[in-house]
Amino acid sequence: MENNNVNNTTTPYTDNSSSETEGSVLNLKWIFTTILATWPWFVASMTIAYAIAFLYLRYTTPVYQVGNEILVQDKSSNSTVSQEAQILSELGYGKNSSDNINNVMRSFKKNELMREVVTKLRLNVRYYEYGRFKTTEFYGTNPFILQASSTVLDSVDISYSYIIVFEKDGSFKYKSGGTDKFENGKLDKELNLPFGTVTLTKTGYPIHYGAEYEVSIIDPIAAARGFHSAVRLERPDKMDNSVHIYATDVLPQRGIDIVNTLVSVYMVANVEEKNKQAENVIQFINDRIDSVEFELGEVEEGIERFKKDYNFTAPETQSELLFSKTNQFFIELSELEVRLELIKALEANVRKAARDHELVPTTLFIDNESLNAVLSAYNSLLAERERKGATLNDEAPQIIAIDKELDRTRILIENNLASIKEGLGVRIKELKEKTGQVDQQIRQVPLKERLYLEKARQQEIKQQLYLLLLKKREETAVTKAATTANVTVLNEARNMGAISPNAGKIKNRALLIGFLIPMIFFSVRRLLNNKIIAKSDIEANSDIPILAEIGHYKEGESQVAVKRNSNTALSEQFRALRTNLQFLLPRAEDKTILLTSSMSGEGKSFAAINLAMTFAISGNKVVLIEFDLRKPKISKHLGIDKSTGISGYVIGQYGLDDIIIPSGIDDNLFVIPSGHIPPNPAEMMMMSKVDDMFARLQQEFDYIIVDTAPAGLVTDAVLLNRFANTCLYIVRQGYTFKQQIQLANDLKRTGRIPKINFVINDVLYNRGYSYGYGYGYGYGYGYGYGYGYGYGYGYGEHGSGYYQREKTFMDKLRGRFKGLVKSKRKNK
């Protein structure tokens, strides 16, 4: 019998199927159908995740951010910077705006300032109340306060913790955090604790009697270090001098107080440092005034003695003219000599300050920006050394580093002073040369007048120096009286809201995680699953066409799902299969359809019965042959006596007309039962009487449907394929193994069954199948015997009737839910 080849366009089969299968697992269609099929899992997972997030937010203490804004004053912004100042700026001593602001920001981060804040706000004493699930910290609202002298609280060098339980009568019991034994105490009565004597006093806030409170006394340095790490400074705009100070804290009011107090402490320290420098300048000026006053007195006494000894009254008119002529030279020379004297005095002061670690007076009276910059840097370093020296010894690495920087700065000061002295010396020499010519004329003046003019010149120099020192002392005193900090508060600290935990982000992430957990679970389960779940599992592993997908069906004991005038989804699916087969078999003589599968239980007999019924109700005369001679099921499903059948016909016991029996379900459908189970089914199928039977059936029937044994177990399907125009290879969703698809590929590739097509059976929507149906069917199939004739095969018995699908957890859950609903209705 000639077979027809059918050209079908399908996905090409390649050996590299695993990557294609993995790539198709998480396609959008599969995700969508999986969510619809298993939505209770997603709802439960997302609900649990959201509940966990809610509990986390409920019992997690939020962290708040507070901040203020300050303006750094920059007095040097309009100054003309010399070349020397630019060089010093590159070395880190410049006074440009950016460096000034950076220095202020670094000053705010000094541990010494935060320690002062801790002392002022008494932040090293902290109060807590224990709840059932959460511990609450107090700040400003604590119902009691631990009072002790500043000396006691500031001298704590290790941390102490005490649990306190108050009673209504004003007493309380307490214990150390490391012990279980309680001691007794009384409010407003002194307690002798290891670090000193303290008193517990009630505040205006209510005490929860019987509740456990905790008071912790912390080392101020450790407390300052902890709060210091929570403070940060930012400069939002590099073009202006504003600086933002931020602090994070679980108690926003404490954060506000820390920021405000930190600014206040800095401003006080800045003013004190400026005043100390001004005091050093005044002291230096006073010392110089005393010295110059003494020297001026000696000069004036010398002039008086000269006048008395020589009876000298006044110089001649010519001498006065000469003196007037050189007066401008004397004035300039005296100013230069005054500056030179000041530089020499400053040199001596620098050497002494370096030896004794004292501040160097700022040179308010020396107009040299480079020198002022270096002196300011030196004094800042010295002030920092003094602060750190209060808690560190001279061998500490921080002190050593500062000392090295001080030496480097001192050398820069000495170099600046030497440069200034050299410049002054050159100018003084020039002036002396100019006055030399006048000196020649003065020498011609009588001796008395010449001596007088020289003494008068010395007097003028001392007077100029004396007046300059008086003026600078007054200026310095005025400056000290008007000293202000170099920062101004633009905006007081305020609470900027909670920054952690981010409730919205945590809830969204919880929902996402709740969604991903079941999605990952189902994805991994599918990746690890070795059974056919979706159409793509076949397309990725084979180029054999897929003619149809048949849904799940379970309706009593009947295996006839297709009936006349039925319009169920399952009926429509079999009609679609019939249509595809009619296109596949266009010629009248193409009428034999063989059904096989890989193993028992895949629904081959069910498909054969209903396919035959589909052709019959369309007006075709159909015969259904039960050629599974090893374990026949069709006759049992249709309630037909199988004793008169194929095996009896082959051995000549019956004629062909005897074994063609009406199906009893449709007038156009006839059945040829298997007969008694023979010992040699394969040999029986090779007999000539089987050929005669098919030849006659071809003449009498429009379609011949042949149900045969699974091709994965025996060769019956291959032997009968000589009569078939096409073969339907049944695979069952969630039952057929993926590797069994290779059996169908081999049957086609080797030519044993060349015209083969897949039919996917038992498709369930809730398995994440690409096209789900709300219908399905159930059937039973199985083999459970062996022969002693050399075949030696046998496969498990699943029982008669329709098979029961393996229940999933969700099936059991739904069943339990339905049972509860029914029981409640009965109780009502």
Task: Give yes or no: residues 109 and 172 share one domain.
Answer: yes
Residue 802 and residue 781: Cα distance in Å, rounded?
8
Q: pLDDT tens digits for 450-477?
A: 677 677 777 777 787 788 888 888 887 8
Confidence (pLDDT) at 534 = 82
Task: Give yes or no: residues 722 and 738 share one domain.
Answer: yes
Within a domain: residue 531? no
Summarize the confidence of residues 106-123 as an average pLDDT: 90
Residue where one domain finishes, among candidates 216, 244, 262: 262
Element (H, E) at 105: helix 97-108
Residue where one domain finishes, among candidates 239, 262, 285: 262
**In a 3-state reduction of DSSP, which class is residue 233?**
strand
Within a domain: residue 652? yes
Tokens of 621: 């005369």
Task: Give yes or no: residues 245 and 321 share one domain.
Answer: no
CA nearest 289: which of 300, 301, 297? 297
Task: Give yes or no: residues 563 and 676 share one domain.
Answer: yes
Q: Is the confidence at residue 727, as pLDDT, over 90?
A: yes
Summarize the confidence of residues 406-411 as an average pLDDT: 86
CA nearest 79: which of 367, 466, 346? 367
Confidence (pLDDT) at 818 = 55
pLDDT > 70 in the chain, percent: 80
Range in 91-105, 178-192, 615-629, 695-709 with the lowest mean pLDDT? 91-105
Summarize the confidence of residues 580-594 as an average pLDDT: 91
Q: pLDDT tens digits for 471-486?
A: 888 887 887 777 788 8
Higher per-residue pLDDT: 87 or 576: 576
Q: Is the confidence at residue 805, as pLDDT, over 60?
A: no
Range in 238-242, 249-253, 640-644 with the lowest mean pLDDT? 238-242
Confidence (pLDDT) at 755 = 93
Higher per-residue pLDDT: 131 or 704: 704
Domain that holds residue 368: 268-490
Task: Give yes or no: residues 611 and 480 share one domain.
Answer: no
Band of pLDDT at residue 17, cut at 50, 70 and 90:
very low
Confidence (pLDDT) at 748 = 93
| Residue whose token pair is 């069994």 | 740
Who's near 129: CB < 8 A, 6+ residues apart?
135, 136, 138, 208, 211, 212, 213, 214
Residue where one domain finishes, among candidates 262, 277, 299: 262
Task: Give yes or no: residues 773 and 787 share one domain.
Answer: yes
Confidence (pLDDT) at 479 = 75
Q: Is the confidence at residue 66, as pLDDT, over 90?
A: yes
Residue 541 and residue 748: Cα distance in Å, rounded?
14
Summarize the confidence of residues 554-560 as an average pLDDT: 71
Q: Is the confidence at residue 781, as pLDDT, over 50?
A: no
The CATH code of the domain that includes 554 is 3.40.50.300
Tokens of 350: 């620098």
Band of pLDDT at residue 324, cut at 50, 70 and 90:
low
Confidence (pLDDT) at 145 = 94
Q: Is the confidence at residue 436, as pLDDT, over 50?
A: yes
- Read off the DSSP letter of residue 143: S
Residue 259 and residue 120: Cα distance in Å, rounded?
12
Band of pLDDT at residue 98, cut at 50, 70 and 90:
low
Residue 532: exposure state from Cβ atoms within 10 A (0-12, 13-18, ≥19): buried
Within a domain: residue 434? yes
Q: Is the confidence at residue 365, as pLDDT, over 50?
A: yes
Task: Give yes or no: residues 196 and 211 share one domain.
Answer: yes
Q: Give me the residues paired with residue 193 across strands.
A: 196
Who's near 56: CB < 8 A, 6+ residues apart?
501, 506
Rg (CA), the chain: 54
Band of pLDDT at residue 92, cut at 50, 70 and 90:
very low
Confidence (pLDDT) at 10 = 36
CA dihedral 63, 69, 70, 74 (to 10 degrees): 120
Decide if 109 contacts 115 (C-beta within 8 A).
no
Q: pLDDT tens digits for 379-388?
A: 888 877 777 7
| Residue whose token pair is 């040829």 | 672
Band of pLDDT at residue 693, cut at 50, 70 and 90:
very high
Band of pLDDT at residue 13, cut at 50, 70 and 90:
very low
Task: Give yes or no: residues 182 and 249 share one domain.
Answer: yes
Confidence (pLDDT) at 511 = 96
Task: Give yes or no: residues 211 and 254 share one domain.
Answer: yes
- Read off the DSSP letter of residue 767: G
Who's near 500: CB < 8 A, 6+ residues apart?
62, 63
Residue 15 and residue 108: Cα distance in Å, rounded?
70
Buried b (16+ CB within 10 A) or exposed e, 373-391: bbbbbbbbbbbbbebbeee
Higher per-residue pLDDT: 332 or 750: 750
Tokens of 773: 């149906």
Within a domain: residue 540? no
Summarize the confidence of residues 186-211 as an average pLDDT: 92
Within a domain: residue 707? yes
Q: Is the confidence at residue 508, as pLDDT, over 80?
A: yes
Band of pLDDT at residue 25, cut at 50, 70 and 90:
very low
Strand arrangement of the beta sheet that strand 144-147 belongs to: 144-147, 196-202, 190-193
Confidence (pLDDT) at 70 = 92
Tokens of 243: 């600086």
Within a domain: residue 530? no
| Residue whose token pair is 């007794």 | 184
Confidence (pLDDT) at 107 = 84
How wide is the angle at C-alpha 587 spanned by C-alphas 581 and 591, nearest 5°? 55
Q: Give me the residues paired with residue 217 across strands.
A: 125, 160
Q: pLDDT tens digits for 487-505?
A: 889 999 999 999 989 999 9
Element (H, E) at 231: strand 231-234
Q: Give me the residues paired with residue 487 across strands.
A: 72
Decide if 580 contacts 615 (C-beta within 8 A).
no
CA dihedral 45, 49, 51, 55 (to 10 degrees): 160
Range in 193-197, 468-472, 675-679, 781-785 with the lowest mean pLDDT? 781-785
Confidence (pLDDT) at 809 = 47
CB atoms within 10 A of CB 287: 13
Band of pLDDT at residue 789, cut at 50, 70 and 90:
very low
Q: Is the confidence at residue 26, as pLDDT, over 70?
A: no
Task: Give yes or no: residues 285 and 368 share one domain.
Answer: yes
Range in 96-105, 246-255, 610-619 with the lowest mean pLDDT? 96-105
Task: Give yes or no: residues 249 and 292 share one domain.
Answer: no
**In a 3-state reduction of DSSP, which class is residue 660?**
coil
Tokens of 179: 């012990």
Decide if 707 contacts 626 (C-beta within 8 A).
yes
Determine the residue type at 786. G
Higher per-residue pLDDT: 649 or 302: 649
Within a domain: residue 507? no
Task: Give yes or no: residues 578 and 556 share one domain.
Answer: yes
Average model confidence (pLDDT) for the chain?
80
Question: Number of structural domains, the chain?
Answer: 3
Tokens of 62: 């939020």
Confidence (pLDDT) at 797 = 36
Specify the pTM: 0.57
Element (H, E) at 234: strand 231-234
Confidence (pLDDT) at 190 = 92
Higher per-residue pLDDT: 80 or 36: 36
Band of pLDDT at residue 783, cut at 50, 70 and 90:
very low
Within a domain: residue 125? yes
Confidence (pLDDT) at 437 = 65
